[in-house]
Amino acid sequence: MILRLWPGTPEARVAAITAMLETSGVRTSRSPEMNRPIIATLDKVDSELAGRIDALDEVESVVHPVGEWRRVDSSFRDGPSVVRVGGVPVGGGSVVVIAGPCSVETPEQLDDAARCAQKAGAHILRGGAYKPRTSPYAFQGLGQEGLHLLKEAGLRYGMPIISEIMDAAQLPAFLDHDVDCLQIGARNMQNFTLLKSVATARRPVLLKRGLSATIKEWLQSAEYLAAHGCDNVILCERGIRTFEPATRNTLDLTVLPLMQQWSHLPIMVDPSHAAGIPGLIPPLSRAALAAGADGLAVEVHARPEDAKSDGGQALLPGELAGLVADARVYAAVGGRHLAQQLPRPVARPTGG
């Protein structure tokens, strides 16, 4: 359960309530919420102790989450949380666009994509250095060289970077190249060993929904990250596997209003992987923003026909510009705003 104490409760009383639980064998976690003390219990509380806690004058309300999570529950904060990715705020009323190629292939290809993304108004540059491919013979990414190229492009065009990590052994390379946000892909959503390792990096993490994962399973994975030290988790709906073969996956927009009830975490939508068809990406993006998405993650490639992975779902540069323009309009209609791009810095060398 989650105890929401009254704003202004003295710290001495918060400590006394925490001690009451801890001495009874109930582990607790304190919310970073600044406006009021909020305490989550991490173990089952017997009915007698629960009754005594509920009767305390300092307790405004007791909330029982709908699933086995605590730190990512909406009641653990006083409002939606904001995650900053290299200075770009995700959540809190701003709409963010992540754009870039599926895979980092060559310096020229990535520079083209980064320039297009920055010019179109995107905020965060994406690119895969390590690629989880269904076929063992498909392009697997450039590894550390891909991270190096991605970071160089991000610095050149003034954009934070995000890339997918597949194995805990890759974490030092991601930290050495100062990757701003670590992505957990759909296939690794329930790789709990990886989640625990990534959480220790204390970097923002974008957690994609698994191909066949329920919403509760998804939030449980987010709780793994939060429980092991990552306070900055972004959810990303990327479509789920259904019986329908007309599109690559089925985009589940019901998660957007539901997550706003169940969790304080910001949530983005990846319509590229959901549809797999470029012509469907703009209308799905508009629908996602109308339903309350905090941002979009899309793929862009100057020459999709030459892409080494997922070229068939990549937007052309002009199409990306149109999508960002739509995002600005739909954000305004919903009482929000498109996030500001960061100032473009002078590139500096990074680790190899």
Distance CA 140, CA 169 (A): 16
Going along the chain from its start, the domains and CATH numbers come out as 2-64 (3.30.70.1140), 83-338 (3.20.20.70)
The pLDDT assigned to 47 comes to 93
The pLDDT assigned to 351 comes to 46
User: For residue range 207-258, what is the model confidence (pLDDT) as tens digits?
Assistant: 999 999 999 999 999 999 999 999 999 999 999 999 999 999 999 999 999 9
Q: Is residue 352 over pLDDT 60?
A: no
Nearest to 222 by CA among 68, 26, 86, 39: 68
Q: Is residue 59 over pLDDT 90?
A: yes
The pLDDT assigned to 78 comes to 95
Range 89-114 average pLDDT = 94
- What token pair was written down for 34? 């600044």
**Residues 114, 77: contact at Cβ < 8 Å?**
no
CA distances (Å), origin 197, targets 98, 160, 165, 230: 24, 22, 11, 10
Q: Is residue 96 over pLDDT 70?
A: yes
Q: Give me the percent of the chain exceeding a pLDDT of 90.
A: 88
**Residues 319, 285: contact at Cβ < 8 Å?**
no
Distance CA 61, CA 343 (A): 44
The pLDDT assigned to 137 comes to 72
65-85 b/e (C-beta count within 10 Å ≥ 16 → b): bebebbbbbbbbbbebbebeb
User: For residue range 117-163, what is the model confidence (pLDDT) as tens digits?
Assistant: 999 999 999 999 997 767 787 777 789 999 999 999 999 999 999 99
Q: What is the pTM of this model?
A: 0.93
Average pLDDT, whole number, for the chain?
93
